[in-house]
Amino acid sequence: MKPVKVGLLGLGTVGTGVVRIVEGNQEDLSSQVGSPILIERIAVKNTEKPRDIEVDAAAITDDPWDVIRDPEIDVIVEVMGGIAGTKEYILEALERGKHIVTANKDLMALHGSEILAKAQEKQCDVFYEASVAGGIPIIRTLIEGFSSDKIVKIMGIVNGTTNYILSKMSQEGASYHDVLKEAQELGYAESDPTSDVEGLDAARKMAILGTLGFRTNVELSDVSVSGISGVSKEDIAFAKRLGYEMKLLGIAESHEDEFSISVQPTMIRTGHPIASVNGVYNAVYVYGQAVGETMFYGAGAGAMPTATSIVADLVAVIKNLKLGVNGLKQIVPYKQKKLKSDEDIFYKNFLLLHVDDKAGVLAKITQVFAEYDVSLDSVVQQANPSNPDAEIIIVTHNASKASMNKVMRHLEQLKVIHRIKSHYRVEG
Amino acid sequence: MKPVKVGLLGLGTVGTGVVRIVEGNQEDLSSQVGSPILIERIAVKNTEKPRDIEVDAAAITDDPWDVIRDPEIDVIVEVMGGIAGTKEYILEALERGKHIVTANKDLMALHGSEILAKAQEKQCDVFYEASVAGGIPIIRTLIEGFSSDKIVKIMGIVNGTTNYILSKMSQEGASYHDVLKEAQELGYAESDPTSDVEGLDAARKMAILGTLGFRTNVELSDVSVSGISGVSKEDIAFAKRLGYEMKLLGIAESHEDEFSISVQPTMIRTGHPIASVNGVYNAVYVYGQAVGETMFYGAGAGAMPTATSIVADLVAVIKNLKLGVNGLKQIVPYKQKKLKSDEDIFYKNFLLLHVDDKAGVLAKITQVFAEYDVSLDSVVQQANPSNPDAEIIIVTHNASKASMNKVMRHLEQLKVIHRIKSHYRVEG
């Protein structure tokens, strides 16, 4: 059988993983798709760099256009990353009728709709399972497994770096900065960790999951984002005492076709399936109207898990190629986008306040919550041996984001409050 | 657009769930498949029985052949259960070019290869996502999500009844018989619970998962099965003391294309993702050579979760229908079947022995393990206040099943052992 020829953009750790799987599992893969799979050309930054794997020198180029323009190549696997330039390569490859497999969450979150529109125009496949939660086939699950259901809620631990940091802080009582430094030394965090720790990476993945789950075009700017750099070990200790774990959760919710989507450090009830997901692992919890609670767990990053998803997409593209149906199963969001207003977004809140240690303070503070109709689940006032202030810990019942914003603005003006130390969303 | 016409065999709780989803989500579903979906005919046992849903009386028949022979119908959804008669209906429907969606694990485990061969001959789809683990899209995951990987191990909690019983026994220290009775009252267990509690239901599901994961034709007779009816509350207490939970686990393992597959009560290390799956929930843990650890969690039964998987399959069939590619993506196991011999199946073992309370007994017993080269992880001897015998608790290191069989036969003959009280597989 004539081999299917693949062009690879990028030969970093993930690209190397793709070559390893395609070569190592060649017999299995060709049994499934009905012909051999050949990695025909590979674009790299530096052709001289020593590699962990043997690749034919003639296959290597430092010009991605050599790969894009090669008429022999049917499928482009993009694992070089980047946004503007990479988008240009992918659009041109589609223009030439080549199918795309990509792990590029940044590109898909920012330009997914443009790329998918071009793919539809040219009847090409664009698959991107590896862009969210590495080895977990969550994109397939949302598109196919739950095609029949209305997705009510998606909660994701979709960033391994921050989950590693929060898990370590929780398990060892360590500080954010110490664990971040350790994560950087272990290669779990970048030297500039901003995109991970400030929640941007997670937000991009949640925009992709929201688009698929709610079948509407969720954009990155629809995601409200805050990161973990302000989470202290004291916050985590408070969470534990109340029966919660602290996780950076992406939360997407939909009700009557209106949705909200956010990423923030969240206190999640111990015992919830996602609360025990630790270390660099990822998990996506999906609540469907009919199916109820489900969760999908696995490695969110790493060369081989990510390459597993990429090569599974490659198998799907090649099967479609054999059947002549590429581009015909493209999922195009068909629902009009309706974002919830802050009045319609409800959740519980945790607050830690440092206040004057004198009579009447608690009454003044709880009065503010009452004024905006936010009811309280629990209130604890305690002395802090290392601080002349008293501490007040408040957990609210479900309250609208709009009401809580008003409460927070009002609290900021109360003279008896020295500091609003922490404010977190609470789930479960 | 001309509607796609569906025939439904069975209108019990799951069938009712299918009607509810197809009608309730009609707008969403028809947006995805490009035409309305109409449940044209429904075969029931008793046409007079009052129903929870409104169905057109003219659509109802008590003769499944009316549905099979209706030339208007493109897809048959089979949720009536049963084996011999149902197989006949399905084969005839395939003969007539109709596609099949079924939730029937018994049928697929026993006659799957015959049905799939007929489907291939007639270029028809046969989808059966709902047959294993209800709402969890594990069949799709094995076929598509992990098409690129070599599956090394599948561990499944795939029977909700037994998981409910073992979870309750663990949480409440209750006895097997008390919890079984309660489960029967709650409708979680059948009045004749044999198929669930003796592991047969789980074995059927594991045969299906093994076939897909290892791409070879696993038959029910390849699964070594034991159930939970002998598990005592003392066993569970011992498990907990040693840091394990007791679960009825299906375990399928493959190494160099040789596999083993079994269902048995297993002590699984607390902290393993599957150890905390409780109640009627199901979970399938999949370890792939490249992807590493993954787990898929959700409702394993129930009308709506099961119907979610069925209607997702229906959507997939109809998409294929529109593209004219039904039956062309059928997965046919392509690997020769090679079962591992007992010499090549390795696991840890837990044993609880009641023995003579005198000197030299422990030496005699450990000597037996040494004779067959089974090394021990831990040995504890203790008095039992409610018993004149002493108790010996042994946990082995990994040992071959063949060696352990020899050990067990030898132990049975030792006069100092009054009773081999328990013997379990240990994982994690």
Res A76 pLDDT > 80: yes
Going by pLDDT thresholds of 50, 70 and 90, the confidence category of residue A330 is low
Minimal Cα distance from B287: which residue of A? A298
CB A308 within 8 A of CB A15: no
Measuring CA to CA, how many Å separate A176 from each of A197, A236, A245, B51, B403?
A: 10, 10, 15, 58, 50
Q: Is residue B313 part of a domain?
A: yes
User: What pLDDT, on a 0 to 100 scale, did the predictor assign at position A333?
Assistant: 84
Q: Same domain, yes or no, for B149 and B223?
A: yes
CB B40 within 8 A of CB B5: yes
Q: Same domain, yes or no, for A110 and A253?
A: no
Cβ count within 10 A of residue A395? 18
Res A86 pLDDT > 80: yes
Going by pLDDT thresholds of 50, 70 and 90, the confidence category of residue B164 is very high
A41/A44 Cα distance (integer angstroms): 10
The reply, when asked if residue A190 is annotated as ligand binding, is yes
A244/A268 Cα distance (integer angstroms): 5
ipTM of the complex: 0.95
Res B331 pLDDT > 80: no
User: What pLDDT, on a 0 to 100 scale, did the predictor assign at position B1?
Assistant: 80
Q: Do B323 and A319 touch (CB under 8 A)?
A: no
User: What pLDDT, on a 0 to 100 scale, did the predictor assign at position A395?
Assistant: 97
Q: Is residue A401 part of a domain?
A: yes
A332 touches chain B (CB under 8 A): no
Measuring CA to CA, how many Å separate B404 from each of A307, B235, B258, B345, B413?
A: 39, 20, 20, 10, 14
Q: Same domain, yes or no, for B353 and B400?
A: yes
What residue type is assigned to position A90 of the chain?
A: I
Q: Please, which residues have CB within 8 angstroms of residue B65's CB and are 6 or more apart in sequence?
A: B89
Q: What is the pLDDT of residues B281-321, one digit of tens each?
A: 999 999 999 999 999 999 999 999 999 999 999 999 999 99
- Chain B residues inside the 8 Å CB shell of A31: 215, 334
Minimal CA–CA distance to A10: which of A68, A93, A80?
A80
Q: Do B291 and A314 touch (CB under 8 A)?
A: no
Query: Which of A149, A276, A298 is nearest residue B291 as measured by Cβ atoms?
Result: A298
**What CATH number corresponds to the domain at position B400?**
3.30.70.260
**What CATH number corresponds to the domain at position B88?**
3.40.50.720
Query: Which of A140, A276, A304 is nearest residue B140 as measured by Cβ atoms?
Result: A140
Unique residue bearing structure tokens 């999951």: A209
Q: Same domain, yes or no, for B115 and B238?
A: no
| Phi, psi of A91, deg, nearest 5 | -65, -40
Q: What is the pLDDT of residues B100-130, one digit of tens each?
A: 999 999 999 999 999 999 999 999 999 999 9
Measuring CA to CA, how many Å separate A23 from each of A39, A108, A130, B15, B47?
A: 9, 27, 19, 45, 58
B86/B88 Cα distance (integer angstroms): 5
What's the average model confidence in pLDDT over A180-187?
A: 95
**A235: distance to nearest CA of chain B, Å?**
24
A3 touches chain B (CB under 8 A): no
What's the average model confidence in pLDDT over A334-347?
A: 95
Q: Do B148 and A31 touch (CB under 8 A)?
A: no
CB A136 within 8 A of CB A142: no
A213 touches chain B (CB under 8 A): no
SS3 B101: strand
Pairing between strand A151-157 and A244-255?
A: antiparallel
Alpha helix stretches (DSSP H) within B25-81: 26-33, 64-68
Q: Same domain, yes or no, for A395 and A373?
A: yes
Q: Do B304 and A290 touch (CB under 8 A)?
A: yes
The separation between CA A215 and the C-alpha centre of its own chain, rounded to angstroms, equals 17
Q: Same domain, yes or no, for A113 and A142?
A: no
Q: What is the pLDDT of residues B223-276, one digit of tens each?
A: 999 999 999 999 999 999 999 999 999 999 999 999 999 999 999 999 999 999
B125 touches chain A (CB under 8 A): no
Res A219 pLDDT > 90: yes
The reply, when asked if residue A2 is annotated as ligand binding, is no
The two structure tokens encoding residue B413:
């003959």
Q: What is the mean pLDDT of chain A?
A: 96
- Find the domain containing B402 and state its range: 346-427
The two structure tokens encoding residue A268:
């999640």
User: What pLDDT, on a 0 to 100 scale, did the predictor assign at position A186?
Assistant: 92
User: What pLDDT, on a 0 to 100 scale, did the predictor assign at position A413?
Assistant: 96
Best mutation site among A20, A22, A148, A334 for testing chain B: the one with the most B CBs within 10 Å?
A148
Going by pLDDT thresholds of 50, 70 and 90, the confidence category of residue B89 is very high
Going by pLDDT thresholds of 50, 70 and 90, the confidence category of residue B328 is confident
Q: Is residue B258 part of a domain?
A: yes
Minimal Cα distance from B310: which residue of A? A148
The separation between CA A135 and the C-alpha centre of its own chain, rounded to angstroms, equals 13
What's the average model confidence in pLDDT over A83-112?
A: 97
Write down how long chain B is.
428
Q: Do B325 and A325 touch (CB under 8 A)?
A: yes
B129 touches chain A (CB under 8 A): yes
Give the dihedral of Cα atoms A389, A390, A391, A394; nearest 10 deg. Answer: -130
Query: Which of B150, B308, B314 is nearest residue A149 as measured by Cβ atoms?
Result: B308
Going by pLDDT thresholds of 50, 70 and 90, the confidence category of residue B92 is very high
User: What pLDDT, on a 0 to 100 scale, did the predictor assign at position A329?
Assistant: 74
SS3 B237: helix
Q: Please count the structural domains in chain A.
A: 3
Res B334 pLDDT > 90: no
Q: Is residue B399 part of a domain?
A: yes
Q: Is residue A15 part of a domain?
A: yes
The separation between CA A195 and the C-alpha centre of its own chain, rounded to angstroms, equals 11
Minimal Cα distance from A295: which residue of B? B297
Q: Do A319 and B299 touch (CB under 8 A)?
A: no
Minimal CA–CA distance to B331: which of B217, B172, B198?
B217
H/E element, B116: helix B105-121
B370/A195 Cα distance (integer angstroms): 56
What's the average model confidence in pLDDT over A1-21?
A: 96
Q: Do A129 and B135 touch (CB under 8 A)?
A: no
The reply, when asked if residue A216 is annotated as ligand binding, is no
Q: Same domain, yes or no, for A121 and A175?
A: no
What's the average model confidence in pLDDT over A45-54?
A: 92
B263 touches chain A (CB under 8 A): no
Q: Same domain, yes or no, for A96 and A169?
A: no
What's the average model confidence in pLDDT over B175-190?
A: 95
| Phi, psi of B242, deg, nearest 5 | -90, 0
Q: Do B290 and A312 touch (CB under 8 A)?
A: no
Q: What is the 3-state secondary structure (H, E, C) of B219-236?
A: CHHHCEECCCCCCCHHHH
Res B330 pLDDT > 70: no
What residue type is assigned to position B427 of the chain?
A: E
B146/A304 Cα distance (integer angstroms): 12
Bridge partners of A150? none
Cβ count within 10 A of residue A308? 34
Q: Please, which residues have CB within 8 angstroms of residue B46's CB and are 6 or more apart in sequence?
A: B62
- Chain B residues inside the 8 Å CB shell of A332: none
Res B28 pLDDT > 90: yes
**A119: distance to nearest CA of chain B, Å?**
17
Q: Same domain, yes or no, for B286 and B366?
A: no
Based on its alpha-carbon atoms, the radius of gyration of chain A, rounded to whole angstroms, reads 24
Q: Is residue B363 part of a domain?
A: yes
A292 touches chain B (CB under 8 A): yes
Q: Same domain, yes or no, for B288 and B145?
A: yes
Res B279 pLDDT > 70: yes
Q: What percent of the residues of chain A are helix, what percent strand, and what percent coil, each to the nearest 5?
A: 40, 30, 30
Bridge partners of B335? B216
A61/A41 Cα distance (integer angstroms): 7
Q: Same domain, yes or no, for A146 and A242?
A: yes
The separation between CA A304 and the C-alpha centre of its own chain, rounded to angstroms, equals 18
Annotated catalytic residue B205: yes
CB A389 within 8 A of CB A355: yes
Which is catalytic among the residues B118, B168, B205, B247? B205
Count of alpha carbons within 13 Å of A107, Cβ hemisphere only?
A: 26
Say what percent of chain A tops pLDDT 90. Answer: 94
CB A362 within 8 A of CB A380: no
For chain A positions 215-234, those within 8 Å of chain B (CB to CB) are 215
Q: Do A141 and B144 touch (CB under 8 A)?
A: no
Unique residue bearing structure tokens 């664990």: A179
Give the dihedral of Cα atoms A54, A59, A65, A67; nearest 10 deg. Answer: -90
Least confident piece of the model among A250-254, A381-385, B340-344: A381-385
User: What pLDDT, on a 0 to 100 scale, did the predictor assign at position B329?
Assistant: 74
What's the average model confidence in pLDDT over A169-179?
A: 97
Q: Same domain, yes or no, for B32 and B160?
A: no
Q: Is residue B126 part of a domain?
A: yes
Q: Is residue B74 part of a domain?
A: yes
**What CATH number corresponds to the domain at position B205?**
3.30.360.10
**B311: distance to nearest CA of chain A, Å?**
6
**A16: distance to nearest CA of chain B, Å?**
12
Q: Do A150 and B25 touch (CB under 8 A)?
A: yes
B379/B349 Cα distance (integer angstroms): 12
Sheet containing strand A37-43, strands side by side: A60-61, A37-43, A4-9, A75-78, A99-102, A126-127
For residue A126, count CB atoms less than 10 angstroms from its CB and return exposed for 0-12, middle for 13-18, buried for 19 or more: buried
Q: What is the pLDDT of residues B352-371, one digit of tens each?
A: 999 999 889 999 999 999 99
User: What pLDDT, on a 0 to 100 scale, did the predictor assign at position B202?
Assistant: 98
Best mutation site among A149, A257, A304, A334 for testing chain B: the one with the most B CBs within 10 Å?
A149
Minimal Cα distance from A28: which residue of B? B148
> Which of B288, B323, B358 is a domain's end point?
B323
- Chain A residues inside the 8 Å CB shell of B288: 135, 308
